[in-house]
């Protein structure tokens, strides 16, 4: 205890050194630069969106018209496409990732852990354009021949699995995004689970709990806050992903209840349209889509933070 106090005083005294003050200001400057960067991006997007904001107003957000011939644009299908494709991705990726993380930290034999972790991290390193190619040429033909007909016969009473399917569609985009989100959620969740104190587990075992009960009561409930954070990181990846989505979603400016229908996300639509946007209003509308994407991302993160706060009690937070 005495030792600790001594160290603290020493550090305090050190803080008055000229070099340390420079260091402090320098790091502050760097931290502020991040804010400035986001602010500038938002500002630039807003400036270029002006013609479109001026012309369409709030109507831009609720209109699903995208008509370059008559210069009328609306963002609704892309907002919905972004949210729904990311939601599908999480629906698929979260159970897989959490289960993998639990297996890796709690159940897997030690010799298997390292190779498995390596493979998962390798999955994260695949460039999205390669995943997109794989999606278009390997995954979609398989989905079209096997999974989609099966979904149609078993769950066809739901509006999500009706209507024509060509192959590239919203569901295919969700699956590709899930593949991209799995490594992120898995590795962060694994770190969280690893940081759950061993005492927790031992206490539960001492009470006679089974493997499953230990995992559920002692580990998962303790780590849920952190796992939630991991999911948010995965969501961030899914919301902004462009290349892989463009290749499998079918690129139509429409949103339909049927997941078999082609659609678009904000990011994929900007990417496909940007090079050939000739009319000034068209060009400006694409910038406004970018502004909307920034807004959606910020909003989703705020909602996530609020949800995180409602999880009371002890827990491990993600270190990101």
- Residues engaged in binding another protein (CB under 8 A): 65-70, 136-137, 140-141, 144, 164, 166-168, 246, 250-254, 256, 261-262, 264, 272-278, 282
**Cβ closest to another protein, residue 43 vs residue 137:** 137
**Cβ closest to another protein, residue 138 vs residue 158:** 138
Tell me the closest approach of the beta carbon of residue 250 to another protein, in angstroms. 5
Tell me the closest approach of the beta carbon of residue 164 to another protein, in angstroms. 6
With beta carbons less than 8 A apart as the criterion, state whether 52 and 60 touch. Answer: yes
**Cβ closest to another protein, residue 51 vs residue 68:** 68
Token pair for 304: 């996530």
Tell me the closest approach of the beta carbon of residue 282 to another protein, in angstroms. 8
**Cβ closest to another protein, residue 100 vs residue 242:** 242
**Cβ closest to another protein, residue 210 vs residue 279:** 279
Tell me the closest approach of the beta carbon of residue 167 to another protein, in angstroms. 5
**Cβ closest to another protein, residue 26 vs residue 145:** 145
Tell me the closest approach of the beta carbon of residue 67 to another protein, in angstroms. 4
Tell me the closest approach of the beta carbon of residue 208 to another protein, in angstroms. 56
Instruction: Note the Cα 36 to chain centre separation in Å.
Output: 23
């Amino acid at each position: 205890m005495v030792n600790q106090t001594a160290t603290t005083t020493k550090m305090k005294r050190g803080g008055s050194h000229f070099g340390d003050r420079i260091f402090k200001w320098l790091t502050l400057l760097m931290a502020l630069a991040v804010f400035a960067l986001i602010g500038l991006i938002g500002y630039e997007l807003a400036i270029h969106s002006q013609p479109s904001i001026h012309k369409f107003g709030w109507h831009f957000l609720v209109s699903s018209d995208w008509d370059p011939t008559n210069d009328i644009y609306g963002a609704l299908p892309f907002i919905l496409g972004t949210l729904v494709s990311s939601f599908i991705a999480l629906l698929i990726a979260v159970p897989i990732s959490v289960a993998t993380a639990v297996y890796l930290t709690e159940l897997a034999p030690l010799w298997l852990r390292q190779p498995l972790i390596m493979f998962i991290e390798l999955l994260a390193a695949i460039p999205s354009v390669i995943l997109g190619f794989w999606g278009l040429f390997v995954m979609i033909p398989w989905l079209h021949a096997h999974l989609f007909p099966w979904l149609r016969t078993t769950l066809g009473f739901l509006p999500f699995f009706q209507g024509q399917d060509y192959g590239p569609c919203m569901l295919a985009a969700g699956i590709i995004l899930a593949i991209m989100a799995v490594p992120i959620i898995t590795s962060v969740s694994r770190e969280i689970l690893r940081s759950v104190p061993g005492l927790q587990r031992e206490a539960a075992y001492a009470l006679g709990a089974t493997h499953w009960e230990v995992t559920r009561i002692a580990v998962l409930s303790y780590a849920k806050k952190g796992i939630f954070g991991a999911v948010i990181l995965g969501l961030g990846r899914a919301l902004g992903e462009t290349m892989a989505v463009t290749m499998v979603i079918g690129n139509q400016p429409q949103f339909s209840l049927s997941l078999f229908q082609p659609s678009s996300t904000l990011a994929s639509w900007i990417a496909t349209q940007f090079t050939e946007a000739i009319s000034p209003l068209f060009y400006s509308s694409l910038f406004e889509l970018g502004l909307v994407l920034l807004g959606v991302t910020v909003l989703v993160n705020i909602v996530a933070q609020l949800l995180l706060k409602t999880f009371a009690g002890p827990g491990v937070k993600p270190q990101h």
